[in-house]
Amino acid sequence: MATPGALRRTYTWIASHAPWSAWAWRNTAFATAAIPPALPLLLGAAALVALPGHTALPLLLVLALRPLLTLLQRSRFRTLLGLDVPPVVHEHRWATVRGLTERLRSESTWRQYGYHLLVSPLAAAGAAALVLTWAGGAAAASVYGWYWVLPSDGELPSPGWTAQYDAITGLGVLALLAAPWLAAALTRIDATAAAALLGPNRARELERRVEDLAESRAGVLDAADLERRRIERDLHDGAQQRLVSLAMNLGIARATLTDLPPEARAVIDEAHREAKEAIEELGNLVRGLHPAVLEDRGLDAALSGIAARAPLPVELTVDLARRPGSTVEAVAYFVVSEALANVAKHARAQRCSVHVGRVAGGRRGDLLRVVVTDDGVGGADPAGGTGLTGLRKRVGSVDGTILINSPLGGPTTVTVELPCGL
């Protein structure tokens, strides 16, 4: 048994889709508004019948009125349906030769012609059928009223007239009930065709947006790289130099002030040791941000420094005929640095090799390929918190790819490919 709430929702749905509902009249108004924009083509067709020799007249009429018809159709969709069909933006004005050439060569122009020559007449024909459905249904449903209102000239009705009138009334009611759904179907078909033909090409628009986003992201990455370089210079030329000066002064004080009590000398020794540790930590931090050698001498020299500081033997091969972009160099440096740190912490490896080279990437252009291989225990899992997740994010920030092959027992191979043109 239906609950009162379900019955209330059913009654509400029926009332909102009844012939007298706002939904029905809105769709009807929208569908019938398709008739005026189709009049130029209809008039051209009528002229074609009246003037058989002028076969190009309807086509020329629509070709000339295409901008105005498109504007009228967009206004109809926006005003009556609340659907905003975005206009097609051209680089040059239509009144110039370049503007006319651009519009004639644009596929969006011919899609609009397709709408005006094909969809618009069909929509107008559907709207005419809809008007006839409403009018015929209303006339048929009220046939008894017409019988009592119109004079009968004294003639008696034929036998069985009530059964005929009942059938006509029933057909009229069915037509009135079907008219809103016919209007809704015409509205949906017209809206779908307009979105595909009147507006800009969605695939092209998505391609343009992807290109804009790629350019914006490249600008953000470059700005972040410049900011890292600025921070590196400030730390190297500012805080690090102050710490070096502090360590030197403490060392001089420890060497010259020999008559201090043991407690004071212990404090100076401790401060001197902490200053040197702070200098070392700050140096590691600066190298992690953006080492100066990477900007000055490129990946070969920067990666050589990482390999020299690694706690295990590293075989480094860098084969680059020309340098990639600075952002790609920074990502490659981070990848090798983080990969070697992971090998030292987790792999229990004896040796490691790093190969960096430039390879052809087909449609993507040249790629910078970084391959890091170790002879450790394997089993590297990005979900295990071993730093591989950070590698994936950093590589993905420049549309790069990363492949990790690490079976149990080893070896582990991390292959990263980065687009050189970024």
Per-residue pLDDT tens digits for 217-226: 666 666 666 6
Higher pLDDT, 360 or 136: 136
pLDDT of residue 132: 92
Higher pLDDT, 329 or 107: 329
Higher pLDDT, 201 or 61: 201
Mean pLDDT value across residues 112-136: 88
Residue 409, SS3? coil
Higher pLDDT, 145 or 351: 351
The residue type at 317:
T
Q: Note whether 409 and 380 are within 8 A (CB).
A: no
Helix or strand holding residue 243 (H, E): helix 240-256
Mean pLDDT value across residues 294-321: 83
Higher pLDDT, 243 or 129: 129
Sheet holding 366-374, edge to edge: 314-319, 352-360, 366-374, 412-419, 401-405
Mean pLDDT value across residues 110-135: 88
pLDDT of residue 17: 73
pLDDT of residue 345: 82
Say how far apart CA 219 and CA 226 lie, in whole Å.
Answer: 10
pLDDT of residue 102: 62
Burial class (CB in 10 A: 0-12, 13-18, 19+), 304: middle
Q: Note whether 354 and 317 are within 8 A (CB).
A: yes
Say how far apart CA 8 and CA 15 lie, in whole Å.
Answer: 11
pLDDT of residue 68: 81
Q: Note whether 289 and 232 are within 8 A (CB).
A: yes
Say how far apart CA 204 and CA 212 lie, in whole Å.
Answer: 12
Mean pLDDT value across residues 361-386: 76
**pLDDT band, very low/low/confident/very high, at 155 (cuts 50, 70, 90):** low
pLDDT of residue 271: 78
Q: What percent of the chain has pLDDT over 70?
A: 69
pLDDT higher than threshold 60 for residue 353: yes
pLDDT higher than threshold 60 for residue 287: no
pLDDT of residue 185: 92
Mean pLDDT value across residues 318-331: 82
**pLDDT band, very low/low/confident/very high, at 189 (cuts 50, 70, 90):** very high
pLDDT higher than threshold 60 for residue 245: yes
pLDDT higher than threshold 70 for residue 96: no
pLDDT of residue 273: 77
Q: Note whether 368 and 412 are within 8 A (CB).
A: no
What is the per-residue pLDDT across 2-29, written as a single tens digit (0 to 9) for each? 576 666 776 676 667 778 888 888 889 9
Return mean pLDDT, the chain: 76
Mean pLDDT value across residues 371-395: 76
Higher pLDDT, 166 or 100: 166
Phi, psi of 319 (to 5 degrees): -125, 90
Find which of 53-67, 167-181, 278-292 is predicted with most confidence, using mean pLDDT. 167-181
Residue 256, SS3? helix
pLDDT of residue 186: 92
